[in-house]
Amino acid sequence: MREDAFKLTNEEKIDIIKDDVQHILETLGLDLTDDSLKGTPNRVAKMFVKELFGGLNPDRKPSASTFENKYQYGEMLVEKNITVYSTCEHHLLPIVGKAHVAYISNGTVVGLSKMNRIVDYYAKRPQVQERLTIQIVKELQDVLNTKDVACVIDAKHLCVNSRGIRDTESSTITSEFGGKFKDKETKREFLDYIKMDTSF
Ligand SMILES: Nc1nc2c(ncn2[C@@H]2O[C@H](COP(=O)(O)OP(=O)(O)OP(=O)(O)O)[C@@H](O)[C@H]2O)c(=O)[nH]1
Ligand SMILES: [Zn+2]
């Protein structure tokens, strides 16, 4: 690991990575004076730092506004079909899928969009799906001050679909069930909600 990585500004990171990408492309025999290619090292570096791996920057962590559960809603809340765009840390290829997140309030509720934002924040790193699933649950457990949080992710890994074994059909399901979600009936209810057709 590069010891000073956390001290570098985004611009400094982009400058360093730009040269690395240029080196890769030149080694592959590409002509970087070509109009279409000359901006690529900078484009890729910017995309890595600010977009695909932006979730490595703790300043980008969403502040999840919470509210008191004034309306005494006591059932589970499910935010389903959250779009996941992540990057596999083994091949740096996309992971594309859906996350489904649920919690049972312990007196605190969180703004709906904050769940989508938390998923996106942890997805924007080189990831393995197992870790991503656990990080989402842990973060929501902290924010909501309860163990009663669950997450299921169903995603396609392009490193499996588009290269290597090239199985275009397979996808990967991971889950993490905290607190009451370990209970068979609560888990079943959550999984049934995920299966419900949302066609409106
Ligand atoms: N557990 C886990 N494995 C992953 C994930 N994303 C990618 N992988 C796997 O990471 C493994 C890396 O294995 P290696 O044998 O080092 O890589 P490889 O030679 O490119 O292997 P193939 O993909 O089988 O061609 C592969 O089996 C990938 O399918 C993930 O999120 N979780
Ligand atoms: Zn991979």
Let me know: does 30 contact 37? Beta carbons within 8 Å.
Answer: yes
Could you give the residue numbers annotated as active site?
A: 88-91, 129, 157, 159
Residue 199 has pLDDT above 80, yes or no: no
End-to-end CA distance of the chain, in Å? 48
Which pLDDT score is estimated for 2?
87
Is the shortest distance between the CB of 164 and ligand 1 below 6 Å? yes
Is the shortest distance between the CB of 101 and ligand 1 below 6 Å? no
51 C-alpha to center of ligand 2: Å?
A: 19
ipTM: 0.94
What digits encode the pLDDT tens for the residues 2-45?
889 989 999 999 999 999 999 999 999 999 999 999 999 999 99
Residue 200 has pLDDT above 80, yes or no: no
Whether the full predicted model's pTM is greater than 0.80, yes or no, is yes
Percent of the chain residues past pLDDT 70, beyond the cut: 100
d(CA 81, CA 133): 14
Residue 177 has pLDDT above 90, yes or no: yes
Is the shortest distance between the CB of 157 and ligand 1 below 6 Å? yes
Nearest ligand to the C-alpha atom of residue 159: 2
156 C-alpha to center of ligand 1: Å?
A: 13
Sorted by where each starts, the structural domains of the chain and their CATH numbers stand as 5-52 (1.10.286.10), 66-195 (3.30.1130.10)
Residue 107 has pLDDT above 80, yes or no: yes
